[in-house]
Every structure is written in C-alpha cells, then in structure tokens.
Structure 1
Amino acid sequence: MRFIASLAVMTGLFAAPLGAQAASLHKDLEQFRAARAFNHLSADGQRTMADILNAKQVLDAGQTDAAIPPLYDAGKRLSAAAKANGQFVAAESSLHPAPQHPVSPAHVASSTPVTWIPVGGEVIGSETLAPEKKAAIATANTQLKSGNIPQAAQTMQVVGADAVFILALAPLEQTQGALNRATVFTEARNPKEASEALQQALDGVVFVSEDFVETMPPASGAQQSATGK
C-alpha cells in the first residue's frame, strides 16, 4: 500500500497540460538543482499511471463497466508516451535506485535492456532542512500536483539546491502487456484478474535518483510531446 500511495502522489505531478507554461517553467526551475530533471517528465506517462491507479480502484470495487474508460485512456496515453523524448533504453541494473522510494516487494527486475517511460516525479528535501524550506517543498509538491507549475517554481526558489528530484520509471513493453491483459479481463467482466494485471504494471515501476536522471539519454528517434495530448 505504501508503494501505491507513493506512486499515486508522484503521478499527480504535472497533471495539467504544459503548453504555454513551458517557457516559464524552464526559466524559473533553473533556480534549483533538481530543475534539469524535470525536462525528462512525460505528461502522457504520468497520466497513464494515474489512469491505471484509477481503473484499479474501480476494479477492486467490482465495477468493470466504470473501469473501461480509464483503461482505454491509459492505453492511448501510453502509446503517446512511447513517442516522447523522455523515454530511453537501459538495463535495470544500470539504474540508480532512489532509497526514498523502494520498489514494490513483488517487483521482478528485468535482466535485459528495456525501454523506460517517465511516469512521475517528486521533489524531496532532507530531514535537516530548516522548517521554512520543508514547508516550501511541501507547498511546491502540492502546487505541482495541481498543475500550478510556475507557482511551484517560484516556491522552490526558497529551497535552492537543498532538494533532490526522484523520478518514477515504468518499463514500456511490460506495462503495455499488463494493460492489455487488464483490458481483456475487464471486458470479460473479470475484475479480480483485471486488477491483478494492473498490479503487475504498478509492480514494474522503478524509482531513480536525480543523479541518474541528469544523465538519462533520450531514446533514438523519440519525439517530444509538448502538451501530452
């Protein structure tokens, strides 16, 4: 449950379309060290995970009809995320896991290079930060979750370099497979099996540190999706 709660928080970040906010975001977020990592976020990837979490909650309540729209949305957004320039190919052993967000106990590490999609992010400060900086980080994350990116950037100027950025990554092919299975089970009115398939998608997510995020190479031929639509 802690893993799902953490992912739910992270996928809420940047839920609003980026569009006209991009220039202001780039300018303001350079004021703190984690800013560079924000460029790797995929709006479609984050919305995919939000749709998956929503569908799973509905399926756990046994409501297959209500789960179909978010499942279809998740499929479309995952396809769009696969074309964004935030994706990259790497073996899981080369990732730098973030200790702040350990993987799910059911996580099975891939042994070969796979395509990763950024699906969420969070700014984190140390426990030794001054109270006003801790408050600023909490406020900024709330603003980001609500899509108020320029305001969050201004808030983070109080923190400066005393923050790190954690990025959530999902393996593309594994997530696509789990989502397809969940859709088939849902359409067949098998909510338990559908929910289990979505849980497999969630279990595949890996959280990486800012140090790794800054060195992430874009996938060859990937295209940026400015609005995530």
Structure 2
Amino acid sequence: MRFNTKASLAALALLTTTPMMAHASSLHTKWEQFKAGRAFRHLSADGQRAMADIVQARETLAAGKTDAAIPALYDAQKRLTAAGKAETKFNAAESQLQPAPQHPASPDHTPATTPTTWIPVGGEFIATETLAPEKKAAVATANGQLKAGQTDQAAQTMQVVGEDADFIVALAPLAQTQGALNRATVFTEGKQASEAVAALDQILNGLVFVSEDFAESAMPDHGKAPAKSSH
C-alpha cells in the first residue's frame, strides 16, 4: 500500500510549496513529515499512555514497591477504558491479523481464540540493514520515545530518517488486557508483587505487532489526528 501512495504524496507536497521553493530537499522533508504523522495517526493516545503506565508499574513492582505502583495501575485502567470508547480500534479474531515478521509474538504469547477488540497501543520503527549509524541511532531514540508515549518527540526525531524505516503497530486485545490489569491491581493492593508482575507480563506477552499497512486497512476511517490522551 505504501508504494502505491508515494507518488500522490509527493504531488501533495508539491502543491503545498511555491513553484520557486519546490526543490528536491523541500519535497523530501515534507514527505518525511507527512509519513511520520500518517504512521502515528493509527495509534490510540490513551492506549499508548496506558501501556507506558503498565511498563512503569511493572518496573516499580519488580523492585518490590507495591504502594508506589498503585497510581500507575489506576491510571492505566482509566486510560484503557477511554481507549475502548474511542474510535481508534477495530474488532477481529487474532487469526485475521497479519503479524509483522520483523517482530514475532512473544514465546509466551497465548492467542485470543474469539473475536475481540484490538487497541493500537504503540509502535516501533524498524531500521533497514543499510541505514547509516546516525540514522540507526535516531530510530533507537524514536522507539524509546514511543514507548514513553512521547509521539510528538518521536516524530521530530524521525525526520532525519525519512523513508528508510518501516513502522509497525502494537495491538493489545482490550478485554484480555483489562482483565490482566485488574488482576495485577488486586495483587498489588494485596502486597503480592510477584503475582502482579506475572499479570502485567501477560499483557506485554499478549501484544501482536502488525505492519502499518495492515493497521491502515483495518482502521480505514482513522486518517484524522488522534484524540488527546485523557489525564
């Protein structure tokens, strides 16, 4: 799908510049900016923040700090609920998904056996083997920013990389994720840190990564800017 749209996107960039300024570098810059924005529009703002909360809570629980992990778990619950009400989601059986070969599922992944609601909770850039070292470093930085829910910063970082990286989207099964999060919260409130960590690991192991093209085809109406994350 991406290669079919490149020419039209280049034409769009041309139309947004004056004839005197429509040189190769300005077209290339506009293409990079548009591509980054287009990729991130597939993500759920609340879903991203919920996953960042879950990762934060897991790190805190792994250190044995149950009380300190509770606020992040509560925030994750609220944000997952908001993500489930937003438009950036779709329903499908897991067998209908097309996992990205660049990021296979965890060895501990348990497939969802019934149709479920999938939330795009994160993304990752995959650098090509021939990418220059400084661009590979930028990709690594952008991926770290995405994991922290810093989408705007990641888009800025990726402007130096442009078309030389693919974008894959992390999908979370909503009901299963909420169930595991609720269990983790109960365990945390009961001071059972190891059991809570195991429940959060179920969430992380349940993620399925798909290509940007698949996400676009599964959510065809989501070409508009994402909603702001709730707080």
**Which position in structure 2 is the counterpart of 1:152?**
157
**Match of residue 39, structure 1, among 38, 41, 55:** 41
- How far the C-alpha of 1:203 sits from its partner, in A, is 1.2
Distance 1:121 1:58, change over 3 A: same
What SS does structure 1 have at the residue aligned with 2:52?
Answer: helix
Higher helix share: 2
Deviations 1:161-216 (A, max 9, x none): 33211101100000000011111111111111111111111111111112212211
Identity %, equivalent residues: 63
Letter in 2 for 1:152: T
**Match of residue 60, structure 1, among 55, 62, 65:** 62
Letter in 2 for 1:202: L
Structure having the higher Rg:
2
Whole-Å separation in 2 of the counterparts to 1:72 and 1:169: 21
Whole-Å separation in 2 of the counterparts to 1:211 and 1:140: 20
Unpaired runs of 5+ residues, structure 2, are 1-28
- Given that 2:39 and 2:212 are in contact with CA atoms closer than 8 Å, whether structure 1 keeps it comes out as yes
- Given that 2:57 and 2:70 are in contact with CA atoms closer than 8 Å, whether structure 1 keeps it comes out as yes
**Which position in structure 1 is the counterpart of 2:215?**
213
**Match of residue 180, structure 2, among 173, 178, 181:** 178
Whole-Å separation in 2 of the counterparts to 1:61 and 1:132: 34
TM-score, normalised by the number of residues in structure 2: 0.74
- Given that 1:139 and 1:155 are in contact with CA atoms closer than 8 Å, whether structure 2 keeps it comes out as no
Whole-Å separation in 1 of the counterparts to 2:31 and 2:85: 25
What is the total number of aligned residue pairs between the two structures?
Answer: 198
**Which position in structure 2 is the counterpart of 1:75?**
77
**Which position in structure 1 is the counterpart of 2:229?**
228
**Match of residue 123, structure 2, among 121, 124, 128:** 121
- Given that 1:165 and 1:210 are in contact with CA atoms closer than 8 Å, whether structure 2 keeps it comes out as yes
TM-score, normalised by the number of residues in structure 1: 0.75
**Match of residue 51, structure 2, among 38, 44, 49:** 49
Whole-Å separation in 2 of the counterparts to 1:48 and 1:134: 27
Unpaired runs of 5+ residues, structure 1, are 1-26
Whole-Å separation in 2 of the counterparts to 1:166 and 1:153: 14
Whole-Å separation in 2 of the counterparts to 1:57 and 1:140: 21
Distance 1:210 1:150, change over 3 A: closer
- Given that 2:61 and 2:197 are in contact with CA atoms closer than 8 Å, whether structure 1 keeps it comes out as yes
CA RMSD across the alignment: 2.8
Distance 1:155 1:206, change over 3 A: same
- How far the C-alpha of 1:125 sits from its partner, in A, is 2.5
Superposition misfits of 4+ residues, deviation over 6 angstroms: none
- Given that 2:42 and 2:120 are in contact with CA atoms closer than 8 Å, whether structure 1 keeps it comes out as yes
